[in-house]
Amino acid sequence: MSTDTQVSNRWSSRYAYVLAATGAAVGLGNIWKFPYIMGENGGGAFVLVYLLCILLIGIPVMMAEVIIGKRGRSTPANAIAHVAAESGRSTHWSLIGTIGVIAGFLILSFYAVIAGWAAAYVFFSGSGEFSAAAANPVTNADVIGALFTELITSVSQLMVWSTLTLIAAIYVISKGVKKGLETAITYLMPALLVLLVGIMLYSAVVGDFAAAFDFMFHVDFSQLTIEGALVALGHAFFTLSLAMGIMMTYGAYLPKGVSIVKTSITIAIADTIVALIAGLAIYPIVFANGLEPSAGPGLLFQSIPLAFGSMPFGDFVGTLFFIMIVFAAFTSVIALLESPTAYLVERQKMSRTKAAVVAGVGIWLLSLCSIYSFAGADWTKLSFGMGGDIFEFLDYLTANILLPLGGIFISIFAGWVMKPNILQEELNLTGTPFAIILILLRFVAPIGILLVFANAVGLL
Ligand code: PHE
Ligand code: NA
């Protein structure tokens, strides 16, 4: 990726762009977060609302972001200002970019910690902890659960992992090591998918697949609260890496002649498939072992190791699985660090390396809040608002407030502020298909987000 503000180089191909954007999209959001928030929010109805949010809001907003980035050929705030000026509007719209920078900064502070959990699990699996636990099927789930608790209450261990994650990300971002990443994503993303499908099949055999399928796809709206709908909406943004300027940044490198419509849909479909398969891999194990779907952030880490424990070559497969999760998380970590870094380069005129270090150190300091939250430290417990701890607060603030807010502004900007002919030209669509996207951006996305948001926070 280019190191200066004005974008000079492009992705080497359409394929390279789709891979990089898919790498940013597919991550812990799919494999760690989606399964547990689905469990906390009742299953099927949540999944349906989530899928609708992806289709009707996420995909159009993604197209809008890519268009802004491509048209502006610059970092997010400048790209928005450029497109606003081209449309004869105020360049103050570039403030949308600022929301994204803040959200990216806050998200990475806990994302890096969870990536650290996955890294620790590479070694748990490699050293045979899961198969050892499986030796006694009666205590199996308890032993795996204790392993997890021991990890998340070990502040020093988690600090080591999140520190290493952030240092590696700072290095990659400051050097702009794009080539290596492209190659790695080319092989590791498909490998992750194959492995996930394999684990799903194995879970289906040893676990309770029927219960899992029913839980995920039997729609019962009495199980879904309005807060749950907001979680689904916020997650649609989170999982597609939207409203953080990421897709604008990636769009800025888009070669001419690549279809924004097709690539956006491809990325969204790939992301959705990984999330659904992750759910179908985890839930049969959850139900067969009497675990709680509402177990929260530990769900993945307390369920899937049970499958590895009993699987032939399970220690090996488990090690591979967690290595790939670490990798999928890392491509997202890099995308997340890119947005505050680009902001510092652009606004504070820092060198790229200095900007990456400054952003990285800030994020590292904030990550301590999430680490101590998981460890249960008293000072992380919040007395105001909805209670919970600092991690839960950061998660709520970003996914349920900042991202939907950013989504409203982006859709309004693309639907109403930007000249429609820019939209049409970049989408390269006419007639009904164009009208549909315009209606989604003008009405469905902003009004839908506003209604869900206002209802959930009690304004309506
Ligand atoms: N989309 C990523 C995931 O699902 C998270 C992410 C958000 C990455 C924002 C980059 C930017 O895990
Ligand atoms: Na995702």
Contacts of 84 (CB under 8 A, 6+ apart): 90, 91, 92, 93, 94, 413, 417, 418
Specify burial of residue 156 (Cβ count, 10 A radius: 0-12, 13-18, 19+): exposed
Kindly state the tokens that stand for 381. Answer: 């417990």
Q: How far is the CA of 26 from the centre of ligand 1 (A)?
A: 7
Contacts of 199 (CB under 8 A, 6+ apart): 281, 304, 307, 317, 321
User: Ligand 1, closest atom to CA 240?
Assistant: 1
Q: Which ligand is nearest to the CA of 272?
A: 2
- Smallest CA separation from ligand 1 atom 8, residue: 332
In angstroms, the CA 378 to CA 372 distance is 9
Q: Which ligand is nearest to the CA of 27?
A: 1
pTM of the model: 0.94
Q: Is 249 in the pocket of ligand 1 (CB under 6 A)?
A: no
What CA–CA distances, in Å, run from 212 to 273, 288, 311? Answer: 16, 9, 19
DSSP conformational letter for 410: H
DSSP conformational letter for 378: G
pLDDT at residue 184, as a whole number: 75
Rounded to 5°, the CA angle 76-81-82 comes to 95
Q: Is 27 in the pocket of ligand 1 (CB under 6 A)?
A: yes
Q: Is 254 in the pocket of ligand 1 (CB under 6 A)?
A: no
Residue 285: closest CA among 271, 299, 306 = 306
Residue 100: closest CA among 4, 3, 238 = 238
Kindly state the tokens that stand for 388. Answer: 């919970």
In angstroms, the CA 174 to CA 357 distance is 8
Residue 445: closest CA among 401, 400, 415, 402 = 415
Give residue 2's region: left, alpha or beta (phi > 0; psi -120 to 50). Answer: beta
Q: Is 23 in the pocket of ligand 1 (CB under 6 A)?
A: no
Architecture of the CATH domain 14-456: Up-down Bundle (1.20)
Q: How far is the CA of 25 from the centre of ligand 2 (A)?
A: 4
In 34-192 the beta strands, taken as DSSP E runs, fall at none
Contact status, residue 141 vs residue 290, Cβ threshold 8 Å: yes
Note the maximum CA span of the chain: 70
Q: How far is the CA of 236 from the centre of ligand 2 (A)?
A: 8
Q: How far is the CA of 132 from the centre of ligand 2 (A)?
A: 32
Residue 286: closest CA among 28, 27, 32, 35 = 35
Contact status, residue 39 vs residue 294, Cβ threshold 8 Å: yes
In angstroms, the CA 157 to CA 171 distance is 21
Q: Is 229 in the pocket of ligand 1 (CB under 6 A)?
A: no
In angstroms, the CA 1 to CA 20 distance is 11
Specify burial of residue 379 (Cβ count, 10 A radius: 0-12, 13-18, 19+): exposed
In angstroms, the CA 406 to CA 242 distance is 9
pLDDT at residue 386, as a whole number: 63
Which residue of 336, 338, 403 sits with most ligand 1 atoms within 8 Å of its CB, as the best mutation to test the pocket? 336
Q: Is 22 in the pocket of ligand 1 (CB under 6 A)?
A: no
pLDDT at residue 6, as a whole number: 45
Q: How far is the CA of 25 from the centre of ligand 1 (A)?
A: 5
pLDDT at residue 384, as a whole number: 67
In angstroms, the CA 297 to CA 307 distance is 18
* Residue-range domain boundaries for the chain: 14-456
pLDDT at residue 177, as a whole number: 63
Q: Is 274 in the pocket of ligand 1 (CB under 6 A)?
A: no
Q: How far is the CA of 431 from the centre of ligand 1 (A)?
A: 33
Which residue's structure tokens are 């980035």?
69
Q: Is 30 in the pocket of ligand 1 (CB under 6 A)?
A: yes
pLDDT at residue 385, as a whole number: 60
pLDDT at residue 12, as a whole number: 78
How high is the ipTM of this complex?
0.98
The SS3 call for residue 389 is strand
pLDDT tens for the chain, 460 residues: list them.
444 444 546 777 888 889 889 999 999 999 999 999 999 999 999 999 999 999 999 999 999 999 999 999 888 899 999 999 999 999 999 999 989 999 999 999 999 999 999 999 999 999 999 999 999 988 999 999 999 999 999 999 999 999 999 999 999 988 876 666 777 788 888 889 999 999 999 999 999 999 999 999 999 999 999 999 999 999 999 999 999 999 998 999 898 889 999 999 999 999 999 999 999 999 999 999 999 999 999 999 999 999 999 999 999 999 999 999 999 999 999 999 988 998 898 889 999 999 999 999 999 999 999 999 999 999 999 876 667 999 999 999 999 999 999 999 999 999 999 999 999 999 999 999 999 999 999 999 999 999 999 998 888 7
